Chains A and B, each alone.
Chain A
Amino acid sequence: QLQLQESGPGLVKPSETLSLTCTVSGGSISSSSYYWGWIRQPPGKGLEWIGSIYYSGSTYYNPSLKSRVTISIDTSKNQFSLKLSSVTAADTAVYYCARHLYDFWSGYCDYWGQGSLVTVSS
């Protein structure tokens, strides 16, 4: 059974960089069938897609966050990571990592991590 687990600091200061890692177990992150990505959810609000990455390193980012987001992948560790720079209180959210599938007709996330709450505060 595929499992994803987020890890990283739960508290980040304003203007600093948020960093999270997702460790994948029960399957290979190097599979050519999937992308791997991040979604966030501010407290009491809806889901916002952040971006995704392929095992080759190709990335796709939400245009509204693109200038501040970097997603990277480490196939040797079966992990992928998120960096979000210049954070403000508006970046406070539960951050989920998820496996993405794309085909000609759709794009969706079939496995999700449990989520990691990151609070931006001094």
Chain B
Amino acid sequence: SSELTQDPAVSVALGQTVRITCQGDSLRNYYASWYQQKPGQAPVLVIYGKNNRPSGIPDRFSGSSSGNTASLTITGAQAEDEADYYCNSRDSSANLYVVFGGGTKLTVL
């Protein structure tokens, strides 16, 4: 099965822009989706598909992809954006398997 690799930790100054990346072979064929998880809470979907936001997700969150790398960009990071972020995609085997990245801890300074 596929693997997705994320940087363990990233930091950003309040109000600045940050990019969180996710790498994996499956991303050459499938879009990544992104989840935000705050301590003690379930993950929340923030980006899916090419660059779609579920209802209620601020438009400062956006997604992009190039080759085997997907990115989640937060433009104008807010204090409440401090959280763990996970990417996922379908497995490159073309079966309906799902794989998750290891997660990135975002700190807003």
Contacts and interface: CB of A to CB of B under 8 A. Distances in A.
A, B bound:
yes
B16 to A, nearest CB: 26
A107 B54 contact: no
A106 B101 contact: no
A115 to B, nearest CB: 5
A52 B100 contact: no
A35 interface: yes
* Contact-size category for A: 20 to 34
B102 A112 contact: no
Contacts of A60: 95-97
B42 A112 contact: yes
Contact of A108 (B48, B97, B102): B48
Nearest to A52: B96
A114 B42 contact: yes
B48 A106 contact: yes
B49 A106 contact: yes
B12 interface: no
Interface of B: 1, 30-33, 35, 42-45, 48-50, 54, 86, 88-90, 95-103
B90 to A, nearest CB: 4
Dominant SS among interface residues on chain A = strand
Interface string A53-64: 000000010111
A101 to B, nearest CB: 8
Question: Which among A47, A49, A100, A109 has the highest number of chain B CB atoms within 10 Å?
Answer: A47
A105 B96 contact: no
A100 B88 CA distance: 12
B43 A112 contact: yes
A105 B50 contact: yes
A107 B103 contact: no
A16 B48 CA distance: 37
A37 B88 CA distance: 14
A36 interface: no
B95 A47 contact: no
